[in-house]
Amino acid sequence: MTGGLVQPGLVHLGLLFDGPDDLVASALPTLRSALDGGDEILVAADRAVVRRLREAFGSEARRITFPPPTSLVRSTEPDFLAAVRGWVRPGRRTTVLGQYLPTMSARDCAFGEDAVGVVRSDLPLTLICCCRRDLHPDLVAVLERTHPQMATAIGVVDNPGHRAPATASPTPAALWGEVAARVGVDGLADLAALRRCVAAVAARAGLEGDAVRAAVLAVHEAAVLAVRRGEPDHAHLTLEVRAQPGQAVFSELTGPHGIPVRPGPSGDPLAHLRPFCARAAVHDEAERRAVRVLSTV
C-alpha cells in the first residue's frame, strides 16, 4: 500500500537523508500507509533510526520487524534476488526499508538496484532504499539514478534523476552466468538456427520436454519482436544464451531499433510470449532493440 493505492508490482523508492531524524521524517508517510494497508513491514536500519521509529509508531511498532542492517546484504547478486523473492507473502504486500552501508561497493550496489527493477518488478513489494548524503558520492549517485520515485516527508514524489538500465547494461544478463552460446542471423529467414541454439542450451541446463519447447517458442516470438520493422528479412539479429544449470536459461536477442512496439489487446506487447517463459522484457534505444527472455527449470 503506497499513497493509499494498492500497487500490483514493485514500488522502488529511494530516500536521501542527513541523519536519523531526517530519515524517519521522510519514511513515515510511506510506512504509515503500508501499516494502514496491512503490509508486512521490515525495517533494517541502525539503532538510532529504529529507536526513533519505535517512538513514532508507539504500540503499533510491534507490527514491524526490525532485522539488523546487514541482514539485507548478500554475497552475490543471485542470492540477493532470492532474498528479495523471499520477502513476498501470499495475499499481501511487503514493505522493506533498508540502509546503504558505508562498506558497500557502488558498482555492486548499482548492479543489485538495477537487477531488482528489471528482474523482480512484478513482485508485490515496496522497497525503500536509504542513503546518507555524506556517504561516498558514487553511492549517492547510484541511489539517485536507480529509483523512479523518492520517499519524502510530504510523500512519494517522482525522481527526475532516475535513469532506467540501458540495453547495454550487464543487468540482468550477468546474473545468469557466462555466455553459453551466441548466434547471429540476418532477418527472419533462418530462425531455425536460433531455435536449435536455445533447445541445446536449455537441455544442458536441465529443462526437459515441454519446458524446452516453451523456451524455444518464447525466443522465437522474441526474435520476431526484436526485428519488427519495415524490412525484417534484412535486419541482423544476435542471440546470446546464458544458463545456470538446474536454475534458469536467459536469452537476449538484439537487433536494430524497429517500429514502436504496440501493446496488444491486453495492453501488454509481450502478452503472447509470457505464457512460455518466467519473464520477458523489451528495451529500446536509439539504435537497437533488445528482447530478454528468462526460462526457469
Nearest to 195 by CA among 276, 289, 262, 281: 276
Question: pTM of the predicted model, to two decimals?
Answer: 0.69
- Note the pLDDT of residue 79: 72
Tell me the pLDDT of the chain (297 aa) as tens digits.
334 344 568 999 999 999 999 999 999 999 999 999 999 999 999 999 999 999 999 999 999 999 988 887 766 666 777 788 888 888 889 999 999 999 888 888 888 888 887 777 778 999 999 999 999 999 999 999 999 999 999 999 999 999 877 655 555 666 677 788 999 887 677 788 899 999 999 999 899 999 999 999 999 988 887 766 444 455 788 899 988 888 788 898 887 765 565 666 667 778 888 889 888 888 776 677 788 888 887
- Note the pLDDT of residue 3: 40
Cell numbers standing for residue 296: 526457469
The CATH homologous superfamily of the domain defined by 173-296: Histidine kinase-like ATPase, C-terminal domain (3.30.565.10)
Cα of first residue to Cα of last residue in the chain, in angstroms, is 32
CA dist 126 and 99 (Å) reads 14
Cell numbers standing for residue 271: 502478452
- Note the pLDDT of residue 139: 96
- Note the pLDDT of residue 283: 77
Cell numbers standing for residue 10: 514493485
**CB neighbours of 148 closer than 8 A, spacing ≥ 6?**
12, 117, 158, 159, 162
The correct answer on CATH 3.40.50.920 for the domain covering 11-158 is no
CA dist 125 and 93 (Å) reads 6
Task: Report which secondary-structure segment, H or E, holds 205.
Answer: helix 191-205
The letter for the amino acid at 171 is T
- Note the pLDDT of residue 2: 39
- Note the pLDDT of residue 247: 78
CA dist 127 and 27 (Å) reads 11
Q: Where are the domains of the chain?
A: 11-158, 173-296
> Do 11-158 and 173-296 share a fold?
no
Cell numbers standing for residue 183: 548466434
